[in-house]
Amino acid sequence: MTIRTATRPIEATMSDPSLGLPTITMAVPMPGFPAHREFVLVRLNEDGLLYALTSTEDPDLRFLVAPPEPFFPDYAPEIESEVFAALNTKDPDRLLLLTVITAGANETTANLMAPIVVDRDSMRAIQVVLSGTGFPVRAVMNPVY
Amino acid sequence: MLVLTRRSGESVMIGDDVIITVLEARGDVIRLGIQAPRDVQVHREEVYRELQASNREAASPTQDEVRAVSKMMKPPFTSD
């Protein structure tokens, strides 16, 4: 197993097949990526705000994700009990909410309509679609500092 | 495409475990009830398409884009 050190470049960490991180299984594949079920969460910056959800089956496929709270303090989506069942959730406090980030040339947006919910005990995840809530698919992200 | 005529209260089965029931038909608005196993996600098509497009756009950003986002999330006094 390779140990990640602070001096390792992001590129090496993200393309390293021996990541040695717990695998997250998508209980339902993400829309657009039906064949990808296994991912690892790779931390990309030391403040812990940016992660790459990286496919273990296809190291070229990754999504930038971040906890939404620092950027969208009022964002508190309701998660339905069907999601708990699909994730084998025993304790809802163990759920981790991540928003998918789209990096653009002019602006960076976060998908608040469909956050990824990860159960840290079962290591199962699902991209929950909050349709009818009015949460935008592309919410502009501003620096938190 | 299979075309079926149903009255409200009647259902259609897809496979062994998906049941679609017509709940109400009023003018050109039809209310449907859908029962499906929990690993089958049910979405309005336009919502699903929008999400699919957004996921594809978000997938596999370039290193430059990753750096730009990473920088945005760091305190300004941290050297990159």
**Residue A75 domain-assigned?**
yes
Domains: count for chain B: 1
H or E element: which one contains B23? Answer: strand B18-26
**Residue A93 domain-assigned?**
yes
Nearest to B52 among A31, A63, A64 (CB): A31
**Residue A7 domain-assigned?**
no
**Probe site for chain B from A30, A54, A82, A88 (most B CB atoms < 10 A):** A30
B13-30 pLDDT tens trace = 999 999 999 999 999 999
A4-50 pLDDT tens trace = 444 444 444 444 445 467 899 999 999 999 999 999 999 998 777 89
ipTM over the 0.95 cut-off:
no
pLDDT confidence band for A59 (50 / 70 / 90):
confident
**Residue A16 domain-assigned?**
no
**Residue B50 domain-assigned?**
yes
**Residue A145 domain-assigned?**
no
| DSSP character string of A36-70 | --EEEEEE-STTS--EEEEESS-TT-EEEEE-STT
Distance CA A75, CA A69 (A): 7
* pLDDT at site B75: 64
Residues of chain B with pLDDT under 50: 80
Distance CA B28, CA B73 (A): 48
**Residue A56 domain-assigned?**
yes
Which structural domain range is residue A131 located in?
23-140
**Residue B44 domain-assigned?**
yes
Domain CATH for A27: 2.30.290.10
B2 part of contact set with chain A, CB < 8 Å:
no
Domains: count for chain A: 1
Closest C-alpha to A102, from B74, B41, B49, B68 = B68
User: Which residue is closest to B77 within chain A, CA to CA?
Assistant: A145
Report yes or no on whether pTM surpasses 0.90: no
**Residue A3 domain-assigned?**
no
Residues 6+ apart with CB under 8 A from B55: A30, A31, A32, A33, A63, A100, A111, A127
**Residue A15 domain-assigned?**
no
